[in-house]
Chain A
Amino acid sequence: MTVTEVLRAENVTRELTGEVPVTLVKNASLSINRGEFVSIMGPSGSGKSSLLYLLGLLDMPTSGKIWLDGEEVTTLTERQIARVRLEKLGFVFQFHFLLVEFSVVDNVLLPMAKLGRLTDKEQRERAEALLVDLGMGDQLRKRPDQLSGGQRQRVAIARALANDPLIILADEPTGNLDSKASANVREILSELVHDRNKTVLAVTHDPEFARAGDRQIHIVDGRIENDELRPD
């Protein structure tokens, strides 16, 4: 299988200006290939989430460049960036971050409806198929607040997959789950990478989660301390 680079960052720095200037991320450079399962680890406040937000284009770096799928994204306008997020990125957050007023299937439908590439019928079929795949087939019409934490996180993963993204970015996806649900989410993400050649970049401080991945990036005080392939 050929190695395709999907994400590259060069000397990315993010500073917060204010009375006390803070450097969240300093000179971070990394490259991620298709089919990798990368964990970003580090103590609380080390800047690992900030790095993820930068790589996920939710935040813009103060300096440095980011390429996504070969395209430099740090120079794009906000509208273009929104489009890139819609087409190429999928997010899973620590808290379930679902829209509580919408049913499970409608939550998964939203990104597809926004993209508008599929017909209404195809969108619905795909949303249902994704949820069935993740074992949520019998909960389609439920509201998010009727689900357990693990179930909600599976809906969130289904939603992240809706537009078949290049990379799934996860921010502490198991941070709020019990061990059983954590193991389930871990398995799902791992399966996505290994069986379906998806790319996952996840921030975690759960060592067990990190062990499921192929590669671990350690961050301390906003700097990448080491970046290593999992020793198998």
Chain B
Amino acid sequence: MPLTLKIALTHLNSRRRQTLMSLLGVMLGVAFFMAVSSLMRGSERDFIKRLVDSAPHITVSDEFRDAPVQPAVKRFPGAAVSISNVKPKTEVRGIRGYKQKMAYIERMPGLRVAPVLSGQIIMTYAGKEQGVLMNGVVPELMAGVSDIEDKIVAGNMQALSSSPNGIIIGRALAKKMNLAMGDNVTVSSPVGLVRTMKIVGLFETGATAIDEGQAYVLLKRAQVLLDRPDRANILVMQLDDPYASRAVAARIEKRIGYRARSWQEASESLLSVLLVRNIIMYSVVSAILVVASFGIYNIISTVVMEKRRDIAILKSMGFTARDVRHVFLWEGTIIGLMGSVGGLALGYSLIWVLSTLSFQVPGVTVPIEMPLYWGLDQALIACAFAALSSMGAAYFPARKAGLVHPVDILRGQA
């Protein structure tokens, strides 16, 4: 063991109360850093998980990023020919040849895809009318790309296959229109078709807009109702690795031409909010550690002041300025390291306590539990920060200690 470390340990050991206080400062700093970071990161992950699970990872819709070039422009590029009243050709909305496109997408590994044809319909029941976004789906494929099946609270998705006239609506909508399972409801489409459909399922996602405004029917049924045979206007995809969505979406878009939006693109603003939140969090918790390091600075400064006589003795014995500096640097380092280790234990205990908490919010059926992140990386960040700031805090008083002149002390005494 270096001699300077031995002296540092003796100093710390002989003033246990002060050592303990500064240790406590570092420990609390590290522990709070960890607890807050765990909560923030946990909630971020929870948030993204919800985002990723409930929404498709990639959505291909029947739009183009840029409007298609019209034949007249193609024929006379850059020409000064004037043709008035040229309108784009009326197209049947939807993804053209969606089956071939799906076949291409399906060949990509780690990816599941399902076609959807959605359009507005009006539901009529007992004199009440309600505009609803109808999604035509293939239940077997939908199971692979969406968690809507888990949200069904009555009936199930497969019921659509067995009763082709079935419709699944949100529980909130059912309540609003006074509908129950098995009831028949009249559905009219924008192209003028009217059908009677039977409620075969109810879902509840928790998002009012969806629960009151969306419905699921069989894809074939939707194609008939909207008069778009053999078309789908959305392809939804889910990936094994959600974070690859951006790259995969770009590839798909390049290949098939239709706009492919990844979930990151769709929720860009939310993700940037998360980033801002992280910046705020790290500045706040770092402030705790900075305050703790001021504590260390104070204590080591005081020790240096009180130990001026000892410093003079050590120097008269033949210790160099460097040796003296090392003694006090060791003290800061020891406090930083021990505080980190203690803080680690305290931090994880704090996270554990948080994990046992659950809140029963009125009106919510499932008690809310803290989303927590147990990762070691945040603990390492906290410890590294604490250890470095302790050493930094010790550096200045240590340097001052190294500059103490023994003669000044001896003269003051004599």
Give the segment of B136-144, B195-203, B318-326 that binds chain A.
Answer: B318-326
- State the CA gap A82–B410 with chains docked (Å): 17
Count chain A residues whose beta carbon lies closer than 8 angstroms to a beta carbon of B: 32
Contact for A114 among B11, B319, B407, B411, CB less than 8 A: B319
Would you call A221 an interface residue if the criterion is a C-beta within 8 Å of the partner chain's C-beta atoms? Answer: no
- State the CA gap A172–B322 with chains docked (Å): 29
Would you call A101 an interface residue if the criterion is a C-beta within 8 Å of the partner chain's C-beta atoms? Answer: yes
Within 8 Å CB of A85, what residues of B? 316-318
- State the CA gap A98–B316 with chains docked (Å): 12
Would you call B14 an interface residue if the criterion is a C-beta within 8 Å of the partner chain's C-beta atoms? Answer: yes
Would you call B3 an interface residue if the criterion is a C-beta within 8 Å of the partner chain's C-beta atoms? Answer: yes
Would you call A192 an interface residue if the criterion is a C-beta within 8 Å of the partner chain's C-beta atoms? Answer: no
Would you call A67 an interface residue if the criterion is a C-beta within 8 Å of the partner chain's C-beta atoms? Answer: no
- Most chain B CB neighbours (cut-off 10 Å) among A78, A85, A95: A85
- Report the minimum CB–CB distance from A202 to chain B (whole Å): 14
Which A residue sits closest to B3, measured CB to CB? A113
Q: Mark B371-414, 1 if CB is under 8 A from A, else 0.
A: 00000000000000000000000000000000000110011011
Would you call A91 an interface residue if the criterion is a C-beta within 8 Å of the partner chain's C-beta atoms? Answer: yes
B10→A87 contact, CB < 8 A: no
Give the segment of B46-54, B71-79, B277-285, B307-315 that binds chain A.
Answer: B307-315
- Report the minimum CB–CB distance from B29 to chain A (whole Å): 28
B323→A114 contact, CB < 8 A: yes
Within 8 Å CB of B309, what residues of A? 97
- State the CA gap A159–B317 with chains docked (Å): 9
- Most chain A CB neighbours (cut-off 10 Å) among B13, B317, B320: B317
Within 8 Å CB of A101, what residues of B? 10-11, 13-14
- Report the minimum CB–CB distance from B240 to chain A (whole Å): 61
B318→A83 contact, CB < 8 A: yes
Within 8 Å CB of A58, what residues of B? 315-316, 406-407, 410
Which B residue sits closest to A86, measured CB to CB? B318
A93→B10 contact, CB < 8 A: no
A111→B414 contact, CB < 8 A: no
- Report the minimum CB–CB distance from A44 to chain B (whole Å): 9
B320→A94 contact, CB < 8 A: no
B414→A171 contact, CB < 8 A: yes
- Report the minimum CB–CB distance from A99 to chain B (whole Å): 5
In the A-B complex, the 5 residue pairs with the smallest Cβ-Cβ separation, listed nearest first, are A86-B318, A85-B318, A101-B14, A82-B320, A59-B407
